[in-house]
């Protein structure tokens, strides 16, 4: 068994480091290279061409069900997870999003960890938040080797820092040093593992590839709701890394979960404020019409409702309608 699978993940700020790294890899590299970066769902698929022009290693967009070949770089494509499956077969799937994205770094890392174990070299480059950290821990748990871009060199140090928290023993290197380490490690012998992947890892990789698993849900239940589907969530621990997964397979690292909930809260607040403002406008109109019709009971009832709305808007942080604009008592 040899180290012949290299999985690379990055997000914001990773393109320049990735291009530099690839420019230093030899054309006869004794490993296949799989690259997952965060891509907008409808973005033009240009990364492979960009990397092919960087150095001597051939680079192509990954295609579903093709077999990975040594000496070739495969890039993820928009709105598909790039996975490595049994017998080194590449898969492109629309499985549940992980860390709010598809393709996700963790999805690629976990699939490689499950099927290739010690053969894997995992690399985390520049990016925000913490996608890739739990996946890198899974690679280590399955006997693989991991390399992390130095946070001080990364344009966005969030992902490298999270990776080093999850795997403190990982080598923190410059992009140049990562390329040299890959070249030295690729093709070297490694001992096979005598243990099977955990049921948690099997369930998550099954769900991301097939949206079905015969094993039970992973981890321990938590009093959390999935930000995407509102389903119940469990916490999964991999070494020092923690992430949360719902019953349908949506997965969140801690920082990404908090960011998703921040977005949900902001959306809910704006929706609530908009609804309250609309109610206020209608109730004020109803109060004015009741006043004109001499319906004093209806006038006061609607005016009281407007006042309750003003109080609610104040609690939500929005200044209510100016008192001078409100209907006046007869």
Q: Which two tokens mark 293?
A: 């019709």
Q: 259 — phi, psi (to 5°)?
A: -65, -40
Q: Which of 324, 272, 322, 327 is nearest to 304 (CA)?
A: 327
Q: Which two tokens mark 165?
A: 């928290």
Q: Which position among 11, 14, 251, 280 bears the catalytic label? A: 11
131 is catalytic: yes
3-state secondary structure of 129: coil
Cα–Cα distance measured from residue 40 to residue 171, given in angstroms and rounded to the nearest whole number: 30
Q: Which position among 4, 14, 38, 251 bears the catalytic label? A: 38
Q: Which two tokens mark 276?
A: 């309250």
Phi-psi region of 182 (alpha: psi -120 to 50; beta: other; left: phi over 0): alpha
3-state secondary structure of 60: strand
3-state secondary structure of 192: coil
Q: Which position among 106, 130, 131, 291 bears the catalytic label? A: 131
Taking CA atoms, 200 is separated from 74, 180, 204, 245, in Å, by 27, 34, 6, 10
- Which residues are designated catalytic? 11, 38, 131
């Amino acid at each position: 068994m040899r180290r012949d699978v290299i999985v690379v993940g990055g997000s914001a700020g990773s393109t320049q480091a990735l291009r530099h790294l690839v420019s230093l890899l030899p054309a006869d590299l004794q490993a296949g290279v799989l690259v997952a970066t965060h891509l907008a769902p409808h973005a033009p698929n240009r990364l492979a061409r960009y990397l092919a022009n960087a150095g001597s290693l051939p680079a192509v967009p990954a295609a579903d069900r093709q077999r990975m070949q040594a000496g070739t770089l495969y890039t993820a494509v928009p709105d598909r997870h790039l996975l490595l499956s049994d017998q080194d077969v590449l898969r492109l799937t629309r499985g549940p999003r992980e860390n709010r994205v598809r393709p996700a770094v963790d999805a690629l890392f976990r699939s490689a960890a499950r099927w290739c174990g010690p053969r894997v070299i995992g690399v985390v480059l520049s990016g925000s938040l913490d996608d890739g950290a739990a996946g890198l821990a899974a690679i280590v748990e399955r006997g693989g080797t991991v390399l992390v871009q130095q946070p001080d060199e990364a344009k966005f140090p969030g992902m490298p820092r999270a990776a080093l928290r999850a795997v403190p023993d990982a080598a923190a290197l410059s992009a140049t040093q990562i390329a040299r380490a890959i070249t030295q490690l690729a093709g070297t012998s490694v001992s096979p593992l005598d243990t099977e992947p955990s049921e948690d890892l099997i369930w998550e990789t099954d769900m991301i590839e097939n949206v079905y698993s015969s094993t039970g849900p992973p981890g321990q239940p938590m009093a959390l709701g999935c930000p995407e589907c509102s389903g119940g969530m469990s916490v999964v621990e991999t070494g020092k890394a923690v992430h949360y997964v719902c019953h349908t397979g949506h997965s969140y690292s801690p920082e990404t979960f908090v960011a998703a909930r921040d977005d949900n809260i902001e959306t809910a607040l704006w929706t609530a404020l908009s609804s309250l403002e609309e109610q206020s406008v209608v109730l004020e109109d109803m109060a004015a019409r009741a006043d004109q019709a001499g319906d004093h009971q209806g006038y006061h009832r609607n005016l009281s409702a407007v006042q309750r709305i003003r109080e609610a808007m104040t609690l939500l942080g929005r200044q209510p309608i100016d008192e001078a604009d409100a209907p006046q008592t007869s």
